[in-house]
Amino acid sequence: MMMARELSSEEEAAGGDELRRGPWTVEEDLLLVNYIAAHGEGRWNALARCAGLKRTGKSCRLRWLNYLRPDVRRGNMTAQEQLLILELHGRWGNRWSKIAQHLPGRTDNEIKNYWRTRVQKHAKHLNCDVNSQQFKDLMRYLWMPRLLERIHRSSQSALSDADADADADDASCITSLLHAPAPLLSSPHTPPFAMAADTTSNDSTMWQQHQAQMSIAGAPPPTTTTVTQHVVLPAAAASCHQMQPDDQSFVGAAETTTCCWSESESLPGLAGLYDDVAVALPEFDVETMPMWGAVEGDDPWYTQMLGL
């Protein structure tokens, strides 16, 4: 038999058994918004009581931060935001609030939900653990370069179209990545990904910014260039086709080398993964294939990779 639990201090503060739970009503939202507009945030238990809300302070705080705050961004994650999430999660793990600090307008809850519903779903489809090295390598050497290329292309098209400002948010997001404070991108080891540039894109803003950031970080930019679809890998990884167990073992950028693979060849370090799912890595064509982030059924590259 369930014992009646004691009221917590905040439940008592909010009025004990009159507490409301579940979805918020429009009236409650208005009460909360109007009260905060007049008195500001903070002291959530007192706020809930004074605003006349039959909610816990916790509930009010959550509702405000995740939904009612005027600067909350809604809608699909942009490629830049996805890239940032992948990068920062690789660095910090499930530190959602810390990650959210680098995605203006996105809440930790939203990022957490994105990770659980999208990223973990991909891992599940690939039959590997989201925390496994294989999956991390897949993100690092496939998805992140694809996202970077997508960002690169959208920034180029934006530059060529004086009237195009639709990607303004995207541009500001990637700017925050490229111009992030030193700890964000200047880790002592090689940034975990880098798209190799072909001769036509070598002078692109995106690539120059990335190279500049790497230089700022104290490591010279990669000296090799190759065709667009190739990915610059750390030399050790490329030479032995095996990833090191963690980022700390990556060599400096000066030692990076170019690695490419064909349709019949598994991605370096991912052989086991693709053995499991019994598919070879398809070469993705950035000209014709949408990037990850599109509905997976609409993405032939994704579909092919999963063997769907």
Partner DNA sequence: AATCAGTGCAACCGCGCGGTC
Partner DNA sequence: TGACCGCGCGGTTGCACTGAT
Residues interacting with DNA, by CB under 7 A? 9-10, 13, 20-24, 42-46, 55, 57-59, 61-63, 66-67, 74, 94-98, 108-110, 112-114, 116-118, 121
Q: For DNA, which is the closer residue by CB, 14 or 217? A: 14
CB of 107 to DNA, least distance (A): 8
Q: For DNA, which is the closer residue by CB, 43 or 179? A: 43
CB of 170 to DNA, least distance (A): 18
CB of 160 to DNA, least distance (A): 31
Q: For DNA, which is the closer residue by CB, 61 or 102? A: 61
Is 255 in contact with 238 (CB distance < 8 Å)?
no
Is 57 in contact with 45 (CB distance < 8 Å)?
yes
Q: Which residues partner with 231 through β-bridges?
A: 195, 259
Cα 82 from chain centroid?
Answer: 3
Residue type, 41: E
The tokens for 153 are 């292309």
Q: For DNA, which is the closer residue by CB, 251 or 294? A: 294
CB of 157 to DNA, least distance (A): 26
Tell me the H-state helices in the chain.
Answer: 9-13, 26-39, 44-50, 57-63, 79-92, 96-100, 108-114, 120-125, 133-138, 144-160, 168-178, 182-185, 205-216, 235-240, 271-277, 300-306
CB of 245 to DNA, least distance (A): 21
CB of 13 to DNA, least distance (A): 5
Q: For DNA, which is the closer residue by CB, 103 or 280? A: 103
Host H or E run for residue 257? strand 257-259
Measured CA angle at 76 (ends 75, 81), to 5 deg: 115
CB of 215 to DNA, least distance (A): 31
Q: Count helices and strands (H / E) in the chain.
A: 16, 2
Is 69 in contact with 60 (CB distance < 8 Å)?
no
Q: For DNA, which is the closer residue by CB, 126 or 214? A: 126
Q: For DNA, which is the closer residue by CB, 39 or 95? A: 95
CA distances in angstroms from 279 to 126, 184, 243, 264, 272, listed in the order given: 10, 35, 20, 9, 11
Is 117 in contact with 178 (CB distance < 8 Å)?
no
